[in-house]
């Protein structure tokens, strides 16, 4: 569904991605793990065209999207729940969800809001509250919910567990699996929390200083001694 | 009692005498530097010559007042704890006004319509009210750009000027009347809005402010120097007055024209035209307000607000930032242009003098003072900014000093503006939990 072929990205003269090749197939959960500064977030942002890849090709459903502007890529069906959530703090929960529905306009709004509320009942309780007043976990739910409002074919999640209590992390990951199973939505998940991410992922890629250093099935990576040593030591 | 009060105070913030003295000393020093030239010397004319009068006692009084005043303020502050309201919290008055916004708005509109017929209305009152409404309209127009789209624009007066000059020039060269020229002025101003928008698409915050500031100056300097068309500093005079469905407001209308007082068979009064202009700007302002309230609920209005809150997130949600910003600049400019046309027809004379940076700053101050994005806040702030200097006329040269102090005071006590809060554009009734109060 999504293919990256030798993708390079530069920030000025610094090369953040050094030729990434990866595939995400329809209906999969694929995770990208790696340490701070490995280029995980850059990879997701490059898929969305912000910044653009300086070399290589990105194909989505066979179409080359490498040079498209961000909003066109979103309209093709790739939705991102960005790092740090980036919800609109002065807008209410409902307005945030409405912003997520921009590519579809009003057509499916009522129906989709129901879907998001049944996935995250907390959001329904808070629908008229301003985004900035939500707790971290609720903001993450809102961020994922907002991305779902675009009716994406593929969801990019950037560190949904960031700064959340372990209980909440569990809950968010359960929701991710639920979205994938019930709606058949393809998910590309970037995580620092390698253990949780690999447990729910079908496949995973390990990123280090802008290159893919390992790839394999989720369970396989979880069992591999290198991964255990590098990313899983010191508890989960 | 005093022990208890001190105990409570000590919990919040300890009163530190050494620090308070140091700060008061610093304030007194600043006051000294300011007061020495401002209060210490005075020009006096004596025997046809100018002489200096020295007034050291004034400087001493000023500096001592500042020193002890500062000590008192820091002492009171320590007693009560920090007076700053936490960010994001809305004060009780603002909340009350916002929950009853509809009633306040209706009452305000009713009052505005009734104003010329109230007993205390005279030419002066209606004139000041007209000026207030011009600024209300400009504030609402700029609110689109600054309040909703979050693009800091320091050159808004350029569009006001474009509107004023396009009406004046179209009237002069093509004999167009106010009503025919109004849409053209709006379109021209919007075009200039887009012209400004293109180069600044990538800029934000301070950089954007500087470029818009430059744009405002460019327009003014063109008006000043393009003598064959704009007649430069001489300005354009004899701008035709607007008509009331073809009726003119003159005592003796020209051949083929019918005057307002003749048609309605009332005796002529200069006040008719003043009142007509007042209603005209009232309607234009209300049109602006209605438009802004409507567009906030449309996708483009929501996109403006999303862009203001977080540009990266907005792009990631499929918003086209280019089009969104350009529409904000264009529509904001259009209302500036309308207001400019009105200004031209009201004054009958325009020159680049009326479109200096201070005008941009005043309009921006209205938006910020009112509370970014708040429509009622703009009305309050425009009233404050126009009426306060009028009230202060008795204080002569201290007028602008008082005005400045009042502005500083407002920003200290209400750092987020007079009415800082935004009304959600969408509400759903909860399905199961029943009604919930906002």
Chain B residues whose CB is inside 8 A of the A74 CB are 315-318
Cβ-contact A140, A160 below 8 angstroms: yes
CA-wise closest residue to B187 among B323, B338, B344, B326? B338
CB contact under 8 A, B306 and A50: no
Mean pLDDT over B113-141 rounds to: 90
Residue B10 pLDDT > 50: no
Residue B134 pLDDT > 70: yes
| Whole-number pLDDT of residue B83 | 46
Contact of A132 with chain B, judged by CB distance below 8 Å, is answered with yes
Cβ-contact B190, B341 below 8 angstroms: no
| Whole-number pLDDT of residue A8 | 95
| Whole-number pLDDT of residue B266 | 81
Residue A2 pLDDT > 50: yes
Estimate to the nearest angstrom the gap between the alpha carbon of B379 and the chain centroid: 9
Residue of A nearest to B323 (CA): A71
Cβ-contact A91, A99 below 8 angstroms: yes
* Average pLDDT over all residues of chain B: 83
pLDDT tens track for A186-219: 999 999 888 889 999 999 999 999 999 999 998 8
What DSSP element (H or E) covers A109? helix A109-119
pLDDT tens track for A155-176: 999 999 988 888 889 999 999 9
* Chain A closest-CA separation from residue B414 CA (Å): 18
3-state secondary structure chain B: CHHHHHHHHHHHCCCCHHHHHHHHHHHHHHHHHHHHHHHCEEEEEECCEEEEEECHHHHHHHHHHHHHHHHHHHHHHHHHCCCCCCCCCCCHHHHHHHHCHHHHHHHHHHHHHHHHHCCCCCHHHHHHHHHHHHHHHHHHHHHHHHHHCCCCCCCCHHHHHHHHHHHHHHHHHHCCCHHHHHHHHHHHHHHHHHHHHHHHCCCCHHHHHHHHHHHHHHHHHHHHHCHHHHCHHHCEECCCCCCECCEECCCCCCCCCEEHHHHCCCCCCCHHHHHHHHHHHHHHHHHHHHHHHHHHCCHHHHHHHHHHHCHHHHHHCCCCHHHHHHHHHHHHHHHHHHHHHHHHHHHCEECHHHHCHHHHHHHHHHHHHHCCCCHHHHHHHHHHHHHHHHHHHHHHHHHHHHHHHHHHHHHHHCCCCCCCCCCCCCCCCCCCCCCCCC
pLDDT tens track for B56-75: 888 898 899 999 998 888 88
Q: Give the pairing type, strands A55-60 and B41-46.
A: unpaired
Residue partners of B412: CB distance under 8 A and separation at least 6 = none
| Whole-number pLDDT of residue B429 | 58
Residue of B nearest to A72 (CA): B318
Chain B residues whose CB is inside 8 A of the A153 CB are none
**CA-CA distance, A60 to A216, in Å (whole number)?**
21
| Whole-number pLDDT of residue B346 | 92
| Whole-number pLDDT of residue B96 | 74
Which has the higher per-residue pLDDT, B391 or B164? B164
Mean pLDDT over B38-42 rounds to: 79
CA-wise closest residue to A32 among A13, A60, A4, A73? A4
Mean pLDDT over A109-124 rounds to: 92
pLDDT tens track for B92-105: 666 677 677 778 88
* Chain B closest-CA separation from residue A104 CA (Å): 10
Q: Which residue has the tokens 């991305």?
A: A147
**CA-CA distance, A217 to A199, in Å (whole number)?**
10
Chain A residues whose CB is inside 8 A of the B318 CB are 71, 74-75, 102-103, 150
Contact of A50 with chain B, judged by CB distance below 8 Å, is answered with yes
Q: What percent of chain B has pLDDT over 70?
A: 89
Instruction: Indicate the residue of B303, B312, B318 with minimum beta-carbon distance to A74.
Output: B318
Residue A233 pLDDT > 70: no
pLDDT tens track for A16-45: 999 999 999 999 999 999 888 889 999 999
Q: Which residue has the tokens 């009331």?
A: B244
pLDDT tens track for B410-420: 778 777 777 76
Count of residues making up chain B: 438
| Whole-number pLDDT of residue B91 | 62
pLDDT tens track for B299-326: 899 999 999 888 888 988 889 999 999 9
Q: Which residue has the tokens 């040269």?
A: B397
Residue of B nearest to A92 (CA): B424
Residue partners of B416: CB distance under 8 A and separation at least 6 = B87, B371, B372
Q: Tell me the CB-side half-sphere exposure of residue B177, using CA atoms within 13 A.
A: 8
Chain A residues whose CB is inside 8 A of the B430 CB are 124, 127
| Whole-number pLDDT of residue B90 | 56
Residue partners of B60: CB distance under 8 A and separation at least 6 = none
**CA-CA distance, B402 to A18, in Å (whole number)?**
62
pLDDT tens track for B165-219: 999 999 988 988 889 999 999 999 999 999 999 888 888 778 888 999 999 999 9
pLDDT tens track for B165-176: 999 999 988 988
**CA-CA distance, B46 to B291, in Å (whole number)?**
60
Instruction: Indicate the residue of B318, B424, B431 with minimum beta-carbon distance to A95.
Output: B424
**CA-CA distance, A5 to B110, in Å (whole number)?**
66
**CA-CA distance, B435 to A191, in Å (whole number)?**
40
**CA-CA distance, A142 to A123, in Å (whole number)?**
7
Instruction: Indicate the residue of A75, A82, A90 with minimum beta-carbon distance to B309.
Output: A90
**CA-CA distance, B167 to B173, in Å (whole number)?**
10
Estimate to the nearest angstrom the gap between the alpha carbon of A228 and the chain centroid: 23
Comparing A46-60, B97-111, B381-395, B423-437, the range with the smallest average pLDDT is: B423-437
Residue B1 pLDDT > 60: no
CB contact under 8 A, A71 and B318: yes
Chain A residues whose CB is inside 8 A of the B313 CB are 82, 86-88
Residue of B nearest to A147 (CA): B317
| Whole-number pLDDT of residue B13 | 53
Contact of A13 with chain B, judged by CB distance below 8 Å, is answered with no
* Chain B closest-CA separation from residue A117 CA (Å): 11
Residue B164, token pair as written in the block: 């004023």
Which has the higher per-residue pLDDT, B52 or B315? B315
Size of interface A-B (CB pairs under 8 A): 86
* Chain A closest-CA separation from residue B96 CA (Å): 18
pLDDT tens track for A130-148: 999 999 889 999 999 999 9
**CA-CA distance, A176 to A194, in Å (whole number)?**
15
Band of pLDDT at residue B278, cut at 50, 70 and 90: very high
Cβ-contact B186, B342 below 8 angstroms: no
Substitution target from A128, A132, A151 for chain B, most B beta carbons within 10 A? A128
Substitution target from A95, A118, A122 for chain B, most B beta carbons within 10 A? A95
* Chain A closest-CA separation from residue B421 CA (Å): 9
Contact of A104 with chain B, judged by CB distance below 8 Å, is answered with no
CB contact under 8 A, A50 and B315: yes
CB contact under 8 A, B427 and A82: no
Task: Please give the domain boundaries of chain B with CATH numbers for all domains.
Answer: 12-80 (no CATH), 92-413 (1.10.3470)
Chain B residues whose CB is inside 8 A of the A125 CB are 433
Cβ-contact B196, B158 below 8 angstroms: yes
State whether residue A193 is helix, strand or coil. Answer: coil
**CA-CA distance, A189 to A191, in Å (whole number)?**
6
pLDDT tens track for B340-366: 999 999 999 999 999 998 899 889 989
CA-wise closest residue to B142 among B285, B354, B345, B348? B285
Mean pLDDT over A103-107 rounds to: 80
């Amino acid at each position: 569904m999504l293919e990256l072929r030798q993708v390079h990205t530069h920030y000025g003269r610094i090369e953040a991605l050094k030729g990434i090749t990866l595939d995400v197939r329809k209906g999969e959960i694929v995770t990208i793990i790696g340490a701070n500064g490995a280029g995980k977030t850059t990879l997701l942002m490059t898929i969305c065209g912000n910044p653009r890849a300086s070399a290589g090709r990105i194909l989505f459903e066979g179409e080359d999207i490498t040079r498209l502007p961000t909003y066109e890529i979103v309209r093709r069906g790739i939705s991102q729940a960005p790092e740090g959530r980036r919800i609109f703090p002065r807008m209410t929960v409902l307005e945030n969800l409405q912003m997520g529905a921009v590519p579809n306009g009003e057509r499916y709004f009522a129906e989709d809001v129901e879907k998001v509320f049944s996935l995250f009942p907390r959001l329904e309780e808070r629908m008229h509250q301003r985004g900035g007043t939500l707790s971290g976990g609720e903001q993450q739910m809102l961020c994922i919910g907002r991305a779902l409002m675009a009716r994406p074919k593929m969801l990019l999640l950037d560190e949904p567990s960031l700064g959340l209590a372990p209980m909440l992390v569990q809950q968010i990951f359960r929701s991710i699996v639920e979205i994938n199973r019930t709606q058949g939505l393809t998910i590309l998940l970037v995580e620092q929390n390698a253990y949780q991410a690999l447990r729910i992922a079908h496949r995973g890629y390990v990123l280090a200083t802008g290159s893919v250093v390992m790839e394999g099935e989720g369970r396989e990576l979880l069992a591999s001694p290198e991964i255990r040593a590098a990313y899983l030591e010191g508890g989960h | 009692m005093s022990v208890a009060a001190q105990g409570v105070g000590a919990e919040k913030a300890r009163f530190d005498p050494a620090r308070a003295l140091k700060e008061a000393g610093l304030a007194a020093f600043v006051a000294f530097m300011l007061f020495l030239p401002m209060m210490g010397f005075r020009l006096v004319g004596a025997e046809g010559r100018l002489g200096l009068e020295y007034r050291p006692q004034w400087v001493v009084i000023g500096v001592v007042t500042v020193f002890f005043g500062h000590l008192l303020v820091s002492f009171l502050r320590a007693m009560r704890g920090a007076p700053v309201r936490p960010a994001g919290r809305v004060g009780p008055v603002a909340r009350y006004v916002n929950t009853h916004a509809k009633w306040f708005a209706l009452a305000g509109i009713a009052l505005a319509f009734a104003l010329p017929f109230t007993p205390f209305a005279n030419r002066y009152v209606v004139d000041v009210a007209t000026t207030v409404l011009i600024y209300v309209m400009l504030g609402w127009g700029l609110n689109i750009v600054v309040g909703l789209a979050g693009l800091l624009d320091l050159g808004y007066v350029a569009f006001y000027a474009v509107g004023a000059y396009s009406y004046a020039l179209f009237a002069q060269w093509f004999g167009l009347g106010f009503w025919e020229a109004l849409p053209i002025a709006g379109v021209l101003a919007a075009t200039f809005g887009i012209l400004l928008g293109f180069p600044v698409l990538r800029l934000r915050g301070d950089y954007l402010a500087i470029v818009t500031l430059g744009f405002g100056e460019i327009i003014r300097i063109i008006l000043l120097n393009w003598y064959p068309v704009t007649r430069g500093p001489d300005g354009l005079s004899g701008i035709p007055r607007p008509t009331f469905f073809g009726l003119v407001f003159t005592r003796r209308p020209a051949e083929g024209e019918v005057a307002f007082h003749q048609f309605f068979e009332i005796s002529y009064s200069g006040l008719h035209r003043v009142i007509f202009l007042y209603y005209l700007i009232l309607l234009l302002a209300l049109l602006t307000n209605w438009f802004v309230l409507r567009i906030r609920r449309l996708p483009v209005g929501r996109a403006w607000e999303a862009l203001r809150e977080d540009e990266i997130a907005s792009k990631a949600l499929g918003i086209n930032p280019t089009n969104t910003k350009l529409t904000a600049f264009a529509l904001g400019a259009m209302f500036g242009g309308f207001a400019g046309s009105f200004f031209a027809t009201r004054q009958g004379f325009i020159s680049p003098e009326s479109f200096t940076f201070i005008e941009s700053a005043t309009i921006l101050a209205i938006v910020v003072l009112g509370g970014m994005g708040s429509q009622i806040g703009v009305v309050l702030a425009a009233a404050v900014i126009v009426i306060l200097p009028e009230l202060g006329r008795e204080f002569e040269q201290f007028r602008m000093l008082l005005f400045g102090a009042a502005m500083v005071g407002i920003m200290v006590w209400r750092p987020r503006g007079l009415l800082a809060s935004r009304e959600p554009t969408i509400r759903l009734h909860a399905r199961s939990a029943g009604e919930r109060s906002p």
